[in-house]
Structure 1
Amino acid sequence: MYPVMINIQDKKVVVVGGGRVAARKIKTLIAEKANVVVISPSLYEKIDAETITWVKRTYQKGDLADAKLVFACTNDASVNRQVMMDAHPSQLVNNTGDKHFSDFYNVAIAKAQDFSVMISTNGLSPERSKEVRTKLEKLLEEL
């Protein structure tokens, strides 16, 4: 894996799926001012429909047009794999159900005033990443 931070401000990001996993991804994407398009017949209650463009239906070929990043967040492995196969080679896709069939996975970030520290368990344990992030944030506050 090659660690990078990507400026997604005003860039189209497609999230296929509208459940809990999608809600976590969307929260961070909105915070970074991405143009988020969600493809899903329904939305988890914690997703604010006012902050996204919601296409209220199941995924269809062509839904990824012009997206810079794509998140396949459904609970259907075949749909997530189809999203991966439909993506253009220039589009990076995170298949949240299968890190081995993804172009990238997310990291936890501990932020301080003028720097950020990325934490990764190489996709093995998001919970552990959060635990380490919390500890690092406390340490960074002391600097």
Structure 2
Amino acid sequence: MQSPYPIILNLADKNVAVIGGGKVASRKISKLIATGIKPTVISPILSTKIPRNQINWIKDKYQRKYVEEMDIIITCTDDSSVNDQVKNEATHFQLVNDTSDKNNSDFYNLATLKADDMFISVSTIGKSPSVAKKMKNEIKEWVSKRFHKEFE
């Protein structure tokens, strides 16, 4: 990604798809559900950690027809050919995040902290999610002590 531009998206009226049903997909799906949306998940199998009643599950392998109306598509497969296919087939109106390849993505997620009146995010621009997570935790500790905030 050459020109990152940080934003906060309101997903309330957006169609969001997650391709894959494993461990990485489970983490992404839980964060999407926490925003109040019901993502569409396309995968032949689902991790037991994914709550089936909070998603629209298409029990199948990726096919373009399943994501034609999606605004945001997150690929969470370990098959680079599928991830590449999703990115290549997306229209210029669709944003794609390939969780296995930041260079094959229109966006990537940030490490975030949320309180009732505060939203803090940290990014290493996809270079080191573990460093971003560590920074987030240190910021959380500092802000919690200094401003007496409880984060979700």
Normalised to the residue count of structure 1, the TM-score between the two structures is 0.95
CA distance in 1 between counterparts of 2:10 and 2:110 reads: 15
SS of 2:32's equivalent in the other structure is: helix
CA distance in 2 between counterparts of 1:129 and 1:46 reads: 24
1:3 counterpart (2, 6, 23): 6
Match of 1:50 in 2: 53
2:107 counterpart (104, 109, 118): 104
Match of 2:130 in 1: 127
Match of 1:116 in 2: 119
RMSD: 1.1
Match of 1:60 in 2: 63
Identity of aligned residues (%): 43
Task: Tell me how far 1:86 sits from its aligned partner.
Answer: 1.2
1:20 counterpart (19, 23, 32): 23
Structure 2, unpaired ranges of 5+: 148-152
Q: 1:7-33 CA distances to partner (integer Å, 9 max, x unpaired)? A: 012421000111111111100000001
Alignment-mate amino acid for residue 132 of structure 2: S
Matching of residue 70 in structure 1 with residue 73 in structure 2: yes
Q: 1:26-75 CA distances to partner (integer Å, 9 max, x unpaired)? A: 00000001230000000011111110010001001221122111001111
Match of 2:150 in 1: none
Alignment-mate amino acid for residue 63 of structure 2: Q
CA distance in 2 between counterparts of 1:137 and 1:118 reads: 10
Which stretch of the first structure deviates more once superposed, 18-27 or 132-141?
Answer: 132-141
Q: 1:88-115 CA distances to partner (integer Å, 9 max, x unpaired)? A: 1101000111100110000011223422
Structure 1, unpaired ranges of 5+: none
CA distance in 2 between counterparts of 1:110 and 1:61 reads: 34
SS of 1:110's equivalent in the other structure is: strand
CA distance in 2 between counterparts of 1:10 and 1:130 reads: 29
Match of 1:84 in 2: 87
Contact 1:10 1:33 (8 Å CA) reproduced = no
Number of equivalences: 143
SS of 2:40's equivalent in the other structure is: strand
Task: Tell me how far 1:5 sits from its aligned partner.
Answer: 0.5
